[in-house]
Amino acid sequence: MAERLKLREPFADPAHQAAADRMGMFVFLGTEVMLFGGILAVALADRIRHPEAMIAASSRLDLWLGGINTAVLLTSSLAMAIAVAAMHQDRPRVALGALSATVALGLAFLGLKALEYGQDYADGLMPALAPPAEPTDPAQALFLNLYLAATALHAVHLTIGIGLVLWLASRIARRPEEQAMTTELTGLYWHFVDIVWVFLYPVLYLVR
Amino acid sequence: MWSALRPLLLTWAGLLALLALTIAVSFAPIGPVKPVANMAIAVVKAGLVLWVFMHLRERGGLLRIFALGAVAWLVILMAMAATDILTR
């Protein structure tokens, strides 16, 4: 695989370039960890200061819908990992099939999330948007603000991920021989977005 | 292809099992241990994704440090925030 990398300045050998590519991606993901980490820190503070309100507000979210979405996202990561493995074994057709599954599962996640937002709206759980100003307890409203901000930010990341995978698929379809590293790096981003949800799910849905 | 697929499928099965476990734990009558247990399960799930799906098991020490550096800072952020609120 490595020898098929398209060598760019300033790298003299493919292994060096591959190491730099991976490291750069992980540094970028580090900034993303801090972005979502801020939200998780708020959740921690909220949990310590208002445990009852958090439990009350969290119980109103749909645990099962969130759980199904977690399974959908974990499966999308499996598909992404298969695509990366296939590219490393020079099987672009297998990779394209796996990437189609990744995109389909990503879209399924967003669809279920939209359905859930609609349900939240009908239940008056959407801060500032929902007609009845419910819940009236400020600590519960704080938790629901956090829920909306965290899940929306995650959905934005997933949307970007779907765009990236579609772009990657078009590159593989055109020139499959040079895309193994691009696939691996796109995979790192996809798996990161999956990990974010792995933490958001218990923090938001399983407080009870 | 199969030898490459096997660890991926096993990891995926493990992740789904942990998802089922975390949901079960959230219904268990264990009070204050619950958030700790759920966070521990989330950390194991993230570890599995990092180790297998994100290939950290195939990489050297330097890349692992880069991958987990931000996590170390996040732990400091959380510890300090919690210290502040808990001791006020």
pLDDT digits (tens, 9 = 90+) for B6-51: 999 999 999 999 999 999 999 998 888 999 999 999 999 999 999 9
pLDDT at A6: 77
Cβ neighbours around A15 below 10 Å, total: 12
User: Does any CB of chain B come closer than 8 Å to the CB of residue A33?
Assistant: yes
Domain A32-206 has CATH 3.30.1370.10: no
Cβ neighbours around B81 below 10 Å, total: 16
Closest residue to A33, CB basis, from B5, B12, B70: B70
Closest residue to B38, CB basis, from A67, A187, A206: A206
The contacts of residue A61 (CB under 8 Å, 6+ apart) are A120, A125, A147, A204, A205
Here the ipTM equals 0.94
> Looking at the predicted structure, is the pLDDT value of residue A2 above 50?
no
Give the position of tokens 């937002």: A117
Report the sign of the C-alpha dihedral through residues A40, B79, B18, A159, in that order.
positive
pLDDT at A7: 83
Centroid of chain to Cα A90: 27
Say whether B26 and A208 touch across the interface (CB within 8 A). Answer: yes
> Looking at the predicted structure, is the pLDDT value of residue A76 above 50?
yes
pLDDT in tens, A122-154: 888 877 665 555 556 888 888 998 999 999 999
pLDDT at A61: 92
Dihedral class, residue A143 (left if φ above 0, else alpha if ψ from -120 to 50, else beta): alpha
Dihedral class, residue A128 (left if φ above 0, else alpha if ψ from -120 to 50, else beta): left
Say whether B63 and A75 touch across the interface (CB within 8 A). Answer: no
Closest CA–CA distance from residue A98 to any residue of chain B (Å): 12
d(CA A135, CA A144): 9
pLDDT at A1: 46
Query: What is this structure's pTM?
Result: 0.94
Closest residue to B53, CB basis, from A63, A77, A88: A77
Select from A204, A192, A199 the least CA-distant residue to A28.
Answer: A192
Q: What percent of chain A has pLDDT over 70?
A: 93
Which of B12, B41, B54, B59 best probes binding to A when mutated, by most A CB atoms within 10 angstroms?
B54
